[in-house]
Structure 1
Amino acid sequence: MNLVYLCGSIIPSRAANSVHVMKMCQALARNGHSVTLLAPTKRGEYEPGVDDVFEFYDVKRIFELRKLPCPRIKGRSIIYAVAAAWAVQKLRPDLVFGRYVHGCALAAWMGYPTIFECHQPIWEIGGIHHAFFELLRRGAGFQKFVVISQALKDIYLEEKDMAPSQIVVVHDAADDPGQVDTPIPLIEESKEALQVGYVGNLYPGKGMEVIAEVAPRMPHLTFHVVGGVESDIADWKQRVDAENILFHGFVDQTDVPRYMAALDVCLLPNQRSVGTYGSGNQDIGQYTSPLKMFEYMSHAKPIVASDLPVLKEVLSDGNNAILCDPQDPDEWVEALRRLEGDASLRRRLGTQARRDFEQRYTWQARARRILRLTHSSANSGTPMPA
């Protein structure tokens, strides 16, 4: 199938949405489809020092990336949407799929079968996005709407007059790391100590609040924080008085599996309110589906995670994770003590997490599921444009 993916993400950047876009395009291509990714040209906003975008995201060059105009002027989103619609018209794809509502709306109105994916309530992004979403829903080519959690689907069903069958829940995913032959040597002199890790950004609510409380109470363990921008790292170093927290900073995507392979336990300490990259006061805690959760699972790591409804859509206490009250450090200390003293428990939790990952949460499985769930409607007679 000839497929066009539309995104509004800054590529390359450290933002999770850009990682998601690149991984999905690779997954769709690996499933045998011809994929063209359309992304905006946002000069001055890219991650500096990136020579090869595909290498930066650790994806294969098996799909085409085209940059379209998005000048830094008022109305830039409309300019980019029109450019994307024009590119779609020239490419004449069998399917348009993406996370850019402006372009997806125009593609649907031109009659191209269109699947739109969104990871938050669209009306919280802004009025123009909400207006284009309403336009999208009425487009002749609109097929399905993809969200990343049942919690987010429930929010849309409560707010919008949409049939449940129009909204598809497909959780996020991760790459299969395979066998990591050269894990990062974390601390040579303390090989017997449990190496506890957090991988991800340090935005408010991501969980450094928990680590800052737990680490000082368990000085014999080493806590590794992988990721975060320099300003956030500097802030937490000032706020936390614990020599057993090591901040490794941002690492290349190619090195992330090497860090994860070296960890004994992985933490997912999301709070009830969670911020995002460049989001201001936006809160995604109720419906987020963190990429790192699936990365932990892919490495067969025992996970200690927050006992939150949205995370429990994937994680089950005592089965593939240990779940703790996100605001009770005592529970996290107790969970780590259990895992420290019980290697068989660590193995059992990690093995089940890996088994669940293999069955449902690889990027290729995610791409197949989306297309399978939308296949019947995409072939239900929607005419292609003449």
Structure 2
Amino acid sequence: MKILYHHRIGSKDGQYVHIEEMVAALRRAGHIVEVVGPEGFEAQDFGGESGLVAALKARIPGAAYELLELGYNSLDYRRLARAIVRFQPDVIYERYNLSLLSGVLARQRFGIPLLLEVNAPLYAERSAYGGLALPRLARWAESRAWQGADHVFAVTEVLAARIVAAGVPRARLSVTPNGIDAQRFHRVTDEAPYKQALGLAGRTVLGFVGFAREWHGLDGVVEMLAADAGVHDLHCLIVGDGPACEGLRAQAATRGVADRLTITGIVGRNDIMQYIGAFDIALVPAVVAYASPLKLFEYMACGRAIVAPDQPNITEILTDGQDALLFAPGSRTGFTDAVRRLITDHALRARLAEAAHASCVARDLSWSANARQVGSVAERLCADR
């Protein structure tokens, strides 16, 4: 099947990982995939952001920027239409972005089924965190995109419920959580070689992967390092970067544990497992209510003992006491108590780690499984045309 993958992301970050992994999985499944996105995107380095987009956000009023976002459809639609004429796809697979309506327009003109992947309710997200100058326009655009697709793929049941509430029939919706590539991530049965390679031999490693923000609460982990006073030889390993990192470094220096905190900066996808393999305890300190955290599946695939919040989008995947320790969302005490329990209880740590990997395998939480589901829906839609 010929699949035209359409997106509007401007930075090579976690969004790009999802695109790269899904495209690769679809191709492994035997589909022919062509990707259509903003010009110059592929030339960026991992972690890079479009300089033009960043400059526009900083220099023009919010209403003008949001109108430009909507106006982008004129340019993008022409690019998408040219690709359709040239490539002759069976379906369009689009990564949802607020105000991106090119796929809906192409579906109407060319009669090609549109599959829409939704990773976040961006109207609600931007209203809550970034602000919207034209909220009614944004809400209309989101509803138009969701309802205009032939089938929608949401990353959690929590997000799926929001999409149904917006008017999309449940029969036109599937849940495909993030996953892993088994060629990149596999079970680790001995952390020692990974720790040795990082200069962390003998230490109990508390690990986090991703873009660290203040609301993740990683300052609580630094306080644990200080309170431990070397009893358990703790070390915090943050694999990534983010706005919280400077403050964490300063806090660690003030508390006298700077030598027990490592922040790697941006790490290439092929190297991440070399760090996760050194984790004794894998941390998900906080997560938004509708998200499917990529780190969670990487931790599971590597067989790490996980601490995560006890909230619906997490319990779709994990079970407290069975394949993770869960704590009340937002409870710093609950989080630190769960981590301390795993620091001292080695048997529980080993059992949860083994069970996390087993759950990942049993449920086939992989990009390949997601690609099979997308392919099945695409074939049905094409057969019904």
The normalised TM-score by structure 2 is: 0.79
Aligned-residue offset at 1:137: 5.7
Aligned-residue offset at 1:133: 4.7
Counterparts in 2 of 1:43 and 1:112: CA distance versus 1, 3 Å: closer
Farther off after superposition, 78-87 or 255-264: 78-87
Superposed structure 1 runs of 4+ greater than 4 Å apart: 42-45, 125-139, 179-182
Q: Deviations over 1:120-152 (max 9, x none)?
A: 22434566665455445665xx42011111111
Write the mapping of 1:206-285 to structure 2, written as runs, cut at 5 A.
Answer: 206-219=216-229, 220-229=233-242, 232-240=244-252, 241=255, 242-243=257-258, 244-270=260-286, 285=288
Runs of 5+ consecutive residues of structure 1 not aligned to the other structure: 51-71, 272-284
Farther off after superposition, 31-40 or 173-182: 173-182
Residue 60 of structure 1 corresponds to which residue in structure 2?
A: none
2:361 is the alignment partner of 1:362: no
Residue 59 of structure 1 corresponds to which residue in structure 2?
A: none
Residue 82 of structure 1 corresponds to which residue in structure 2?
A: 78
Residue 324 of structure 1 corresponds to which residue in structure 2?
A: 327
Residue 315 of structure 1 corresponds to which residue in structure 2?
A: 318
CA distance in 1: counterparts of 2:91 and 2:251, whole angstroms: 49
Contact map agreement 2:5 2:36 (CA 8 A) in 1: yes
Write the mapping of 1:123-272 to structure 2, written as runs, cut at 5 A.
Answer: 123-124=123-124, 130-136=139-145, 142-158=149-165, 160-176=166-182, 177-178=185-186, 183=194, 185=196, 188=199, 191-219=201-229, 220-229=233-242, 232-240=244-252, 241=255, 242-243=257-258, 244-270=260-286
Contact map agreement 1:184 1:258 (CA 8 A) in 2: no
Write the mapping of 1:7-22 to structure 2, written as runs, cut at 5 A.
Answer: 7-10=7-10, 13=12, 15-22=13-20
Counterparts in 2 of 1:118 and 1:43: CA distance versus 1, 3 Å: closer
Q: Give the letter aligned to residue 208 of structure 1.
A: L
Q: Give the letter aligned to residue 103 of structure 1.
A: S
Aligned-residue offset at 1:74: 8.9
1:35 pairs with 30, 33, 36, which one?
33
Q: Deviations over 1:208-232 (max 9, x none)?
A: 2443444333343111111014x54
Q: Give the letter aligned to residue 250 of structure 2.
A: Q
Counterparts in 2 of 1:251 and 1:355: CA distance versus 1, 3 Å: same
Aligned-residue offset at 1:265: 1.2
Give the 3-state SS of the residue equivalent to 1:314 in structure 2: coil
Give the 3-state SS of the residue equivalent to 1:288 in structure 2: coil
Counterparts in 2 of 1:187 and 1:267: CA distance versus 1, 3 Å: same
Contact map agreement 1:264 1:301 (CA 8 A) in 2: yes
Question: Higher helix share goes to which structure?
Answer: 2
Runs of 5+ consecutive residues of structure 2 not aligned to the other structure: 49-67, 127-134
The normalised TM-score by structure 1 is: 0.78
Farther off after superposition, 216-225 or 39-48: 39-48
* Identity fraction in percent: 24
Aligned-residue offset at 1:353: 1.3
CA distance in 1: counterparts of 2:220 and 2:251, whole angstroms: 13
Q: Give the letter aligned to residue 5 of structure 2.
A: Y
CA distance in 2: counterparts of 1:74 and 1:163, whole angstroms: 26
Give the 3-state SS of the residue equivalent to 2:202 in structure 1: coil
Q: Deviations over 1:277-323 (max 9, x none)?
A: xxxxxxxx120111000110110111011122211111110111100
Q: Deviations over 1:68-98 (max 9, x none)?
A: xxxx999334312321122123211011112
Give the 3-state SS of the residue equivalent to 2:283 in structure 1: strand
Aligned-residue offset at 1:42: 4.9
Aligned-residue offset at 1:102: 2.2
Contact map agreement 1:3 1:93 (CA 8 A) in 2: yes
**Aligned Cα root-mean-square deviation (Å):** 2.9
